Structure 1
Amino acid sequence: MKVSVKKELGAEFDALIVPLSEESVSGQAALALPGLPEMMKEAVLSAVKAGKPGKECGAVYAAELYEKETEKFRKLVLVQLGDGTATNREVFLALAKAFKCCKESKPAVTAVFMDAAGELLSSHERIQKLFELPYLVSYQFNAYKSVPVENGMKEAVMVTEKEGMEDIAREAKHVAESTMLARDLVNHPSMYMTPEKLAEEAAAVAKETGLEIQVYDKKEMEDMKMGAFLSVAQGAVDEPRLIVLRYHGGKEGEAPVALVGKGIMFDSGGYSLKSKMDTMHDDMGGAAAVIGAIRAIALEKLPVNVIAVAAACENMISGDAYVPGDILFSMNGKTIEMLNADAEGRLTLADAITYAIRKEGAGAIIDIATLTGAAKGAVGGKSAAVLANDDELYAEVEAASEASCEKIWRLPADKELFAAIRSDVADIKNSSPGNPMGGGSIVAGLFIQEFVEEKPWVHVDMAPVNWLPEGNSYCIHGASGYGVSLLYETVKVLGK
């Protein structure tokens, strides 16, 4: 996919997107479309006069127009962005619908008349998300197709008289490509995407961007006494890896922000066996997100010190696997009564977070994980569930959510619910079978909080939004790539 910026529309395009606002429609700003063929200009004005596409943000009108002179069909898509009250995400989704509508016609070149939307497409955040969309919408996962599926979109041309668009286009490219990398990592089955392979992919990112990388094997993790993490991994044939990427963009000696991702390459549930596991290679979405995010951070040279820590292993059944009732010894010294082998992600995160604090000197922690099915019940299928112990850090993540269009919803860190994971035989237990209080996503977050050692911390449970069974307007079936943009924008906010 190629995305370019031009001040005037050339003759070579197959589809045209015209984003409108109520103001631009009422003032007939649609007339101000420099270089637009007369036939298409008339079609735009005719549609607008007929009240199309409508007044609500997200309304779309599409038409196939035949041009006699060139004997060519061109697609026209009008998309309404509303009256100025729509959120960044609502505008993003409206534009995504327009691109998806174009994609169906498989245009080689799609043009977008940005300025027709007036002030509704003037902020850096909205323009960046617009520039990301051609990449995200055209994404295909063809690794295992004998005949690759064509994405149908080859090039997008953003037509605008605005200045400074090249820098935004570059940033959008870096974030979108990093999001697609995360999608690829999650979409691969675990037969291919093993912990070792994920480490190789991280090494390729490090080589591309100049990041430092360190990969710890099982023996080295044993030396660091990472008993919680290693217990999850002990039933698998493929050995675990702790993958650490370091970016030095801030002041020398300044404590880094740690992005910690859960990387369960396949989750069978262990001896707490899952009843359905055909997509459980997706349980490493958090690890994919932190690898993708630090790639974009490095390419954009954000002025913050950052480390990405990916805790990669498989949760499998074997004669060596851990079993309910085992007592685990974590890196920070806390003992854990393991009552549910399928509550494994919090165990790997516990040691990964301890590593980030004690070995890397992290000053703040943001962990991201496909942690609980309960999260979807709590916040629905469009948002990630979030817990935090620090209002200031949470506010920065919330601002990043608005900029990235990746939704979050904060849950209460209700300390009364901690009673559900108090253990009679250890310091804490990893699950609370039969817990009458509910709040499974909150309880899981409270477990993780026991390992953050009073550092500012935000926990992102991305389980509701990591995997899209039917796809959406900007992503095909499979991995969404959620978290890359959210984490990138968070670090960007922290660097201001």
Structure 2
Amino acid sequence: MRNPLPPVPGKLLELEVSDDLRRGTPLATLIAAPSEEDGDAGLAEIGGVRPTGKTGDVQTVPTGGVRWLAGVGDGEPKQYRKAGAALVRAVSSALEEDVKAGQKAFRAFAVELPEDAGAEHIEELTFGLLLGGYRFTVTAEDPKPGLRTVRLITRHEHAAVAVERVRELAAAAAFARDLANTPSNIKTPAWLADTAARVSGGIPNLTVTVRDEKWLAEQGFGGVLAVGGGSAAPPRLIELEYRPRGATTHLLLVGKGITFDTGGLSIKPADGMHLMRTDMAGGAAIIAAVRAIAALRLPVKVTGLVPAAENHVSGSSYRPGDIVRHYGGKTTEVGNTDAEGRMVLADALVYGIKKHKPDAVIDAATLTGAMKVSLGVRTGGVFATDDALAERVTKAGERVGEAWWRMPLLEDLAETVQGSLGDVRQAPGGPGGIVAALFLREFVGDVPWAHLDIAGPARADKTYADVVPGATGFAARTLVELVASYS
């Protein structure tokens, strides 16, 4: 019987760059909106259709050599991403309609770019084309005919280089989506670890080591063991090491890998709990980013750590009021078992810093619902002890189309995370995102550190730009671009 789970990672569209169109290939062309001075008269009819040029507006042309018109608004690069995403969705829909009508399925189409489109426009369009049509469906039905190839018609001399770079970034985002979307009855900590090891095999200078629950107990990973103790699926620590020759900078990336989060004994409401399959989106971003960093052969040493556990309810679950001893010896008073992400991150941060002595540390996690209140669902929060590192993160995000906003580490609240029975308190109350970051800061020492809270943008419930409902893969592209900035 065929496994209904789609392959992880899934396959992206193939992109070709050419200066001519193959005969018989359906063609789309990009149209800018008319200026205010020109008004509607500024756009001539094409095949009987008057294009609007509005960003993301895709129109079907019934006659002539062009089948689709895709609006790019004012022609700014970011509009090309939206146009590319809307176009690939419209073309995929047209393919399905052709098949239903008994016509031969076309498996490729071409996009004609304006002559003035530069490398940045091509990059943004590529992001939209590769990610806008993303799908993840677990079904027993046979795969339906789908698009395989997009040909970009352009004479830009650096187009092929731009496309190849973006392809790895888009692949990282799509892979992170695949991991986070995988149902949790399949995605145990062991499955996540095995998948990370499998997809990293054969990539030069990249190795993956998986630590099991026995090793975690021997080493004293009290936070990971406490969170994972209530589940029949034992926890894992996934350690990815990328070691290019000659690298002088070493970055440590740590990602929360909670493969399902019931909240533990501090159980979550039933409404929305099904979304907790994506509570390892931070860990997914780390795994996908390190793989892409190695594939791009960036000249920076990188270690990725993903503490993976399932926060479940049973007689062996950890309890509010427990005192947990982390790797390195520091103790935590547990106030809420649903604040489990910071418990596993604390262990991994101390371990990674002690073992690898990195130049900087960045962690990523769907850590607090408070960040969704603060920044909404399209912007990630950045907490940092180092101004230069915080700026690197936000600038990297800008370059790859992910929005970040720096949040404060308020010193007036620092004392609230200090414990009375233990060294620190896990859930002391107050502004949730800030106190969670202050808790994590207790485990990083003096090394430059940035904490990325992606609880809002890691999931989407509707389509926008190159995002579709489900896991978004947020942060994977930023992390790759961040590491590239150290090159």
TM category, shorter = 0.7 to 0.9
Question: Does the residue aligned with 2:71 lie in a helix, a strand or coil?
Answer: strand
Q: Which residue of 1 aligns with 2:100?
A: none
Q: Which residue of 2 aligns with 1:483?
A: 475
TM-score (norm 2): 0.88
Give, in angstroms, the shift of residue 167 of structure 1. Answer: 2.3
Q: Which residue of 2 aligns with 1:99?
A: 88
Question: Does the residue aligned with 1:66 lie in a helix, a strand or coil?
Answer: coil
Give, in angstroms, the shift of residue 44 of structure 1. Answer: 7.6
- Structure 1 range deviating more: 227-236 or 94-103: 94-103
Please say if 1:130 is aligned against 2:133.
no
Pairing partner for 1:470 from 462, 467, 471 = 462
Compared with structure 1, are the counterparts of its residues 415 and 93 closer, same or farther at alpha carbon in structure 2 (3 Å cutoff)?
Answer: farther
Distance in 2 of aligned mates of 1:239 and 1:382: 33
Give, in angstroms, the shift of residue 239 of structure 1. Answer: 1.0
- Structure 1 range deviating more: 163-172 or 198-207: 163-172
Letter in 1 for 2:447: K
Q: Which residue of 1 aligns with 2:14?
A: 2
Distance in 2 of aligned mates of 1:80 and 1:475: 17
Give, in angstroms, the shift of residue 346 of structure 1. Answer: 0.5
Distance in 1 of aligned mates of 2:142 and 2:395: 39
TM-score (norm 1): 0.86
Question: Does the residue aligned with 2:314 lie in a helix, a strand or coil?
Answer: coil
Question: Does the residue aligned with 1:17 lie in a helix, a strand or coil?
Answer: strand
Q: Which residue of 2 aligns with 1:186?
A: 180
Give, in angstroms, the shift of residue 165 of structure 1. Answer: 2.2
Distance in 1 of aligned mates of 2:350 and 2:456: 26
Distance in 2 of aligned mates of 1:445 and 1:362: 20
1:194-233 pair list within 5 angstroms: 194-210=188-204, 211-233=206-228
Which whole-Å deviations, capped at 9, do the CAs of 1:34-85 have from their partners, x for residues lacking one?
A: xxxxxxx96089736xxx325xxx2625133234xxxxx953223134165x
Which whole-Å deviations, capped at 9, do the CAs of 1:200-234 have from their partners, x for residues lacking one?
A: 11111221313111111112112221112211111
| Structure 2 residues not aligned, in runs of 5+ | 1-12, 96-105
| Structure 1 residues not aligned, in runs of 5+ | 32-40, 68-72
Q: Which residue of 2 aligns with 1:47?
A: 50
- Structure 1 range deviating more: 414-423 or 178-187: 414-423
- Structure 1 range deviating more: 89-98 or 317-326: 89-98
Letter in 1 for 2:467: C
Question: Does the residue aligned with 1:258 lie in a helix, a strand or coil?
Answer: strand
Pairing partner for 1:338 from 328, 334, 337 = 334
Please say if 1:318 is aligned against 2:314.
yes
**Residues 53 and 73 in structure 2, CA contact (< 8 A), matched pair in contact too:** no
Give, in angstroms, the shift of residue 454 of structure 1. Answer: 1.4
**Residues 72 and 79 in structure 2, CA contact (< 8 A), matched pair in contact too:** no
Give, in angstroms, the shift of residue 134 of structure 1. Answer: 2.4
- Structure 1 range deviating more: 100-109 or 301-310: 100-109
Compared with structure 1, are the counterparts of its residues 250 and 367 closer, same or farther at alpha carbon in structure 2 (3 Å cutoff)?
Answer: farther
Please say if 1:286 is aligned against 2:282.
yes
Q: Which residue of 1 aligns with 2:59?
A: 62
Q: Which residue of 2 aligns with 1:414?
A: 410
Q: Which residue of 2 aligns with 1:245?
A: 240
Distance in 2 of aligned mates of 1:91 and 1:76: 15
**Residues 104 and 152 in structure 1, CA contact (< 8 A), matched pair in contact too:** no
**Residues 257 and 281 in structure 2, CA contact (< 8 A), matched pair in contact too:** yes
1:14-53 pair list within 5 angstroms: 14-20=26-32, 43=46, 47=50, 52-53=52-53
Compared with structure 1, are the counterparts of its residues 281 and 61 closer, same or farther at alpha carbon in structure 2 (3 Å cutoff)?
Answer: closer
Give, in angstroms, the shift of residue 21 of structure 1. Answer: 6.7
**Residues 200 and 207 in structure 2, CA contact (< 8 A), matched pair in contact too:** yes
Letter in 2 for 1:43: I
**Residues 19 and 113 in structure 1, CA contact (< 8 A), matched pair in contact too:** no
Q: Which residue of 2 aligns with 1:381?
A: 377
Distance in 1 of aligned mates of 2:56 and 2:203: 40
Alignment RMSD:
2.6
Compared with structure 1, are the counterparts of its residues 64 and 147 closer, same or farther at alpha carbon in structure 2 (3 Å cutoff)?
Answer: farther
Identity of aligned residues (%): 32
Which whole-Å deviations, capped at 9, do the CAs of 1:281-331 have from their partners, x for residues lacking one?
A: 110101111111111111111111111111101111111111000001111
Give, in angstroms, the shift of residue 466 of structure 1. Answer: 1.2
**Residues 19 and 155 in structure 2, CA contact (< 8 A), matched pair in contact too:** yes
Q: Which residue of 2 aligns with 1:34?
A: none
Distance in 2 of aligned mates of 1:83 and 1:157: 20
Question: Does the residue aligned with 1:384 lie in a helix, a strand or coil?
Answer: strand
Distance in 2 of aligned mates of 1:402 and 1:409: 11
Which whole-Å deviations, capped at 9, do the CAs of 1:389-442 have from their partners, x for residues lacking one?
A: 11111111111111110111111111112233232211111102xx3xx42111
Q: Which residue of 2 aligns with 1:392?
A: 388
Compared with structure 1, are the counterparts of its residues 21 and 488 closer, same or farther at alpha carbon in structure 2 (3 Å cutoff)?
Answer: farther
Give, in angstroms, the shift of residue 155 of structure 1. Answer: 1.7
Distance in 2 of aligned mates of 1:424 and 1:64: 71
Give, in angstroms, the shift of residue 113 of structure 1. Answer: 2.0
**Residues 100 and 474 in structure 1, CA contact (< 8 A), matched pair in contact too:** no
**Residues 203 and 213 in structure 1, CA contact (< 8 A), matched pair in contact too:** yes
Compared with structure 1, are the counterparts of its residues 362 and 22 closer, same or farther at alpha carbon in structure 2 (3 Å cutoff)?
Answer: farther
Please say if 1:157 is aligned against 2:167.
no
Query: How many residues align structurally?
Result: 461
Letter in 2 for 1:3: L
Give, in angstroms, the shift of residue 9 of structure 1. Answer: 2.2
Distance in 2 of aligned mates of 1:380 and 1:236: 32
Distance in 1 of aligned mates of 2:264 and 2:285: 24
Q: Which residue of 2 aligns with 1:70?
A: none
Distance in 2 of aligned mates of 1:391 and 1:151: 49
Distance in 2 of aligned mates of 1:53 and 1:90: 11
Distance in 2 of aligned mates of 1:11 and 1:205: 37
Distance in 2 of aligned mates of 1:102 and 1:377: 36
